[in-house]
Amino acid sequence: MSRSSFRLNAKRGLLAAVAGSPFTQAGVVDVYDVSADCRAPVFKSSLPLGILGHEGAFSPDGRTYWASTTADRGLSAIDVSDPANPQLLYHGFDVATHGLSISDDGRRAYLADVQNGPTQNYVSEITHGGGGMRILDISQIQDRVTLPQVTEVGYVTWPEVTIPQSTIPVTVRGHKYLVEFDEYDSDVTTYAADENVGGVH
């Protein structure tokens, strides 16, 4: 399992993680029930639903586990309403996200996006930086619409972007913010003193 994919949904007491790489894993999602005792997880399922999965997120209501794809574009939404029988609700091939978080109402996805546009080279971006933060409308997935459509709500980038890692919604003194943090510097294959380094935005 990718340790950055481990997520706990406290409301339902579910623990989930995904493992995936182009060479070793198909994207197996493991789901455990920890509602009775977090020290004794109860295994519920293990299925290849998080295509080449890398990082994960839960919807706040605990009905949907999200898995981002590693080393390529992709985002999977997995219905874990029945944790013993999870189902793939959606897989988007045109999204290049590293990590993500979901809004309190489950209707927006906040992506740490590693692409500058649909024609950009993904491998170059993941090793040489690029991207920003993308916001998706995922209402139809939250509402369990058949053949759901996911649309972009907004996108932002900044000059110092390196490799966007993930996002965290926070509330400070009653005001809601979204924190995005990068990892590495702007070229993970070399180092130069004038390179951008990962930061928090």
pLDDT tens sequence across 16-56: 999 876 666 788 999 999 999 999 999 999 999 998 888 99
Note the pLDDT tens digit of each residue in 60-92.
999 999 999 877 789 999 999 999 999 999 999
Q: Which residue pairs from 156-159 have beta carbons closer than 8 angstroms and sit at least 24 positions apart in sequence?
A: 156/132, 157/116, 157/131, 157/132, 157/133, 158/132, 158/201, 159/196
158-170: average pLDDT? 86
The predicted model scores a pTM of 0.88
Percent of the chain with pLDDT over 70: 82
Q: Which of 34, 30, 45 is nearest to 82 (CA)?
A: 45
pLDDT for residue 120 is more than 70: no
pLDDT at 94: 85
